[in-house]
Structure 1
């Protein structure tokens, strides 16, 4: 069978395309893995290799039926199923913690990796390599630029425990204002039962949903809050 037949691919090219999918998916997955995201190296490799395989199956897997009468071959029929189906996998990486939504970038990277795998399976190597380069620029380089030069706030949950009567809302509010921390929601639980240092000392619990500028470090905030009169414990999520 002639190699220029659009419905034919040899084993060498099948191997090269699967290896290319593994390489490109692994590069993007490595970036996600080193950032400790839910979908990492292996997940991105599997998505990219699987997409490439499905694309090759869609184009070349049914070549023997091309000459059959009343048979219409559509090389894109399985590719459309991949694009829609990858959404379910991406949805699993999106988390709502009560403070913010996380995992959107990882879900998008899975979707792009699936598209890269389809491109490799269809033989669009140049497009696949360029897309991988642009994705890595977006995930790595632009992330550094964003953290360094774009000021924005992140949502956090802060829980403060202190001695009842000593720890007051006024003191905590003054600290937040001085540190340029915006309080979005606050819950003050006074003399909570079961929370005592001794039989004569009751503890107050203060829960806050706040927005903190990205340049702040949690350990720095905790160390400063511990200096507020009456504070016995601080936690940040």
Structure 2
């Protein structure tokens, strides 16, 4: 059985790794950032820990494994539904929401399997990341000189016949 420290290290490392990858993408002006990929890293590590929580690979049956795979595939499609590209195609919104949708499924699986330590640590890390992630992104943008401040992106140019307010 995994102890609290091991769970925290594994989920924390996955969140950090995903966040660093997201920071790289964000600094290059891509539509994903620290929070989004941090949540994805956390979610995937949570699912993997669920599969190996007891240290005995036989603990989760093949039927349970197939159920988990089906849930995660279905949630991937649901998450894709919350991603929106603006009419001018310059901004993408909803990526963190999609990642959070997937994480919610992962913690639901943790609850269903009774893996309370994994559930609690994943949820705590997720809330810390979601609450302070934007502030960390802004600070890192100032320190590292990213392409644009994530909160002050320039609006998409209006098309010639566009009379709608922006």
Per the normalisation by structure 2, the TM-score is: 0.50
Higher helix share: 2
User: RCO (CA 8 Å, sep 6+): is it higher in 1 or 2?
Assistant: 2
Per the normalisation by structure 1, the TM-score is: 0.36
Greater gyration radius: 1
